[in-house]
Amino acid sequence: MSNVAIGFTGIGIGLILLAFRIQIGVSLGLVSFVGIGILVSFKAAWGIITAIPFNFVGDWNLTAIPMFLLMGFVASEAGLSTGLFRAMRILLSWMPGGLAVSSVGANAVLAAASGSSVATASAFARIATPEMLRYGYHPGLATGVIAAAGTLGALIPPSILMVLYGFLAEVSVAKLFAAGVVPGILTALAFSAMIIIRCLITPSLAPRVNDKFTPAEIRVAMWETWPLPVIILGVLLGIFLGIFTPTAGGAVGAALAILLGLLRRQLDFAVMRRAMEATLVSTASIFLVIIGTSLLGKFMALSGVPSWSANLLVEYTTSPLMVLLAVSVLFLFLGMFLDSMGILLLTMPIILPMARAAGIDLIFFGIILVKLLEIGLLTPPVGLNVYVIKGALGDRVSLTTIFKGVGWFIAVDLVLLVILASWPQIALWLPGLMD
């Protein structure tokens, strides 16, 4: 059996292990160890499996991940985001489907602070969805908008997926963050426009909310909301202006969240302990996946699969659009079965050489990948954000209803994906200003 055949066999076995729900880091690490042992020797495999975890976990650039996670968890646990939906509701509830549009706006702001789609969707499933159901919104719209808007956490910076992609692709994380701003805002606006149009055509989807708010209520809502924008702007402006690196930006964001929590007397020992525990658990889970996929990358390099795939692609086409189409089909398929981080880390050793061979800008390529991963968080049968909403609401709304509700948002995302692929400057304009 050739080295390439051994590599593809390893990928197949890894997918089978994942189908049996074995943790992705463990599955890929095991396959890589055995594969390297067959290709070189088990002594070499043991040396690699003991060296790579230390080298990756000890990499300074990856400290951005726990820091951004801590920033999001502190903001959430200290209640810095509690007034967000109420403020958006006061500003936007007069619109057709106003509560749903408010959910999109609030999700976008919280997503920028947390960097996690799942965390954002989980928070608003408990805050906004019951409110929409109480006002008679269609359950598919009330749940679908939260599941879909939660995916903005992957695209609007700071984003954990972008940090990982930048690290693996060896491109500027600051430029990736900048590239995600316009597509992220465009996605939020497109979701809102779709909601408004649907509610104008079918008013029964979202009965009008005619609540009146006093000036005092408006002032209280705005006061409860300001800490989150301050944290986000502080981090992003510092990164974009070159005051500090994205890695240091995570620490600045976490420090700002802690400081504002203390100033508002919403942060005590118990809150900080919960935030730290959640950060440690999430970081350990992410790093285990990174270790497994980095071992897979070494296995793939030794087998020659990436170079073989890139050469095969170049032989049949040099069109960047064809490469993007092939990667899109792959990601949309994998998105039905795997979580977004697993897909990104699993495929990077193979798709990066393809993108380089086709001459695709890797900053633009990263935004396309993140956009595809957003869609994967919604597609059945394993749309992670959909299950988060279902878990938060219990039996109040069926899984089928939620999946039907997100269908409209998936359609909008696919249209935006075509627009981004056709006009890359939408994503590349802002990073270009940083040169």
Closest by alpha carbon to 343, among 366, 373, 364? Answer: 373
Distances 280 to 140, 163, 400 between C-alpha atoms, Å:
35, 18, 34
Percentage of residues in the chain having pLDDT higher than 70: 91
Structural domain boundaries enclosing 358: 3-432
Residue 53: which pLDDT band, with cuts at 50, 70 and 90? confident
Task: Looking at mean pLDDT, say which of 178-192, 225-239, 283-297 comes out highest.
Answer: 178-192
If pLDDT is split at 50, 70 and 90, which confidence band does 25 have?
confident
Angle between helical axes of 399-422 and 362-376 (0-180°, round to 10):
160
Report how many domains make up the chain.
1
pLDDT-derived band at 269, boundaries 50, 70, 90: confident
Token pair for 422: 């056709």
User: Does the pLDDT of residue 430 top 70, yes or no?
Assistant: yes
Question: According to the per-residue pLDDT averaged within each range, which of 12-16, 176-180, 284-288 is highest?
Answer: 176-180
Confidence tier at 132 by pLDDT (50, 70, 90)? confident
- The CA distance from 247 to 239, in Å, is 9
Give the Cβ contact number of residue 9 at 10 Å.
15
- 79 has pLDDT over 80: no
* CA 126/CA 17 separation, integer angstroms: 34
- DSSP for residue 157: S
So what's the pLDDT on residue 233?
80
The tens digit of pLDDT for each residue in 348-365 reads 877 888 888 788 899 999
Residue 410 has pLDDT above 80, yes or no: yes
The amino acid at 121: A
Of the segments 26-35, 273-282, 298-307, 411-420, which one has the largest average pLDDT value? Answer: 411-420
Place of tokens 């290709």: 39
Q: Is the pLDDT score of 435 beyond 70?
A: no
Q: In 222-271, which ranges are E strands?
A: none
SS3 label, residue 81: coil
Tokens (6 digits) for 424: 């890359």
What contacts 24+ positions apart, CB below 8 Å, involve 323-329? 323/354, 323/355, 323/358, 323/360, 324/360, 324/368, 324/421, 326/354, 327/351, 327/354, 327/355, 327/368, 327/369, 327/372, 328/368, 328/372, 328/417
Query: What's the N-to-C CA distance of the chain in angstroms?
Result: 48
Look at residue 118 in the predicted model and tell me its pLDDT. 67
